Copies of this chain bind each other. A is one copy, B any other.
Amino acid sequence: MTGTRGYHHGDLRRTLLTTAVQVIEESGPAALSLRDLARRAGVSHAAPAHHFGDKAGLLTALAADGFDLLAKALHGAGDALLDRGVAYVDFAVRHRAHFEVMFRADLYRPDAEELVAARQRAGAALNLGVAALPEDRPTAEDPQGDALAAWSIMHGFATLWLSGALPARIGDDPRAAARAIAGRLFRME
């Protein structure tokens, strides 16, 4: 299973995915090329197609990996909604390539089985944070609205951060900035 010599690469599928993440982090999803990935892995230009079918197939697998990583990150962040919100932003910054692909449904096949399941796991992890809010908050009658508001503000901050649209005075610590912003929703803490 290990070793990269010989006719068989040994772990080409994994290699292609991790290399794709590097390329996307450096140059964005638009710059990704299956032939370039093949060259970097030392295989022929048609080898990737065997594992993923086509480019959308590779990005589908990458997005599914991303939703699974996100679900794990959220679960590891504790129960409080604020902590989960900060973990969401932290995930977006640390796994920028995954995050950028996950929410660009035109790049992959959003109805692929593996992907739908992973996305559901991440969604469940998100909603759990809302259940930890105090029950006497003013908006307690509409927990789905609370979840959507929390998701929106953290997703928006993460997206703006990654896009480089934020002014420089924000600083370079996305976790701290996210915590300050998120605290304005509800009286979280």
Residues of chain A at the chain B interface (Cβ within 8 Å): 27-28, 30-31, 103-107, 110, 119, 139, 144-146, 148-149, 151-160, 163-166, 169-170, 177, 180-181, 184-186
Q: A105-B164, A184-B185 are in contact. Are A153 and B159 (CB under 8 A)?
A: no
Q: A30-B106, A106-B27 are in contact. Are A184 and B186 (CB under 8 A)?
A: yes
Residues on the B chain within 8 Å of A160, using CB? 103, 151-152, 155
Q: How far is the CA of A2 from the CA of B55 in the complex (A)?
A: 43
Q: How far is the CA of A166 from the CA of B148 in the complex (A)?
A: 9
Residues on the B chain within 8 Å of A170, using CB? 148
A166 to chain B, nearest CB (A): 7
Residue contacts A-B, CB under 8 angstroms, 22 given: A27-B106, A28-B106, A103-B163, A104-B163, A105-B164, A105-B165, A144-B169, A145-B180, A146-B184, A148-B177, A149-B181, A149-B184, A151-B156, A151-B160, A152-B153, A152-B156, A152-B181, A153-B153, A156-B157, A156-B158, A184-B185, A184-B186
Interface contact A107-B30, CB-CB below 8 Å: yes
Q: How far is the CA of A148 from the CA of B170 in the complex (A)?
A: 9
Residues on the B chain within 8 Å of A180, using CB? 145
Instruction: Rank and list the top 8 A-B pairs by shortest CB-CB distance, nearest first.
Output: A156-B156, A28-B106, A152-B156, A155-B156, A153-B153, A152-B157, A149-B184, A103-B163
| Shortest Cβ distance from A148 into B: residue | B181
| Shortest Cβ distance from A146 into B: residue | B184
Interface contact A159-B155, CB-CB below 8 Å: yes
Residues on the B chain within 8 Å of A149, using CB? 153, 181, 184-185
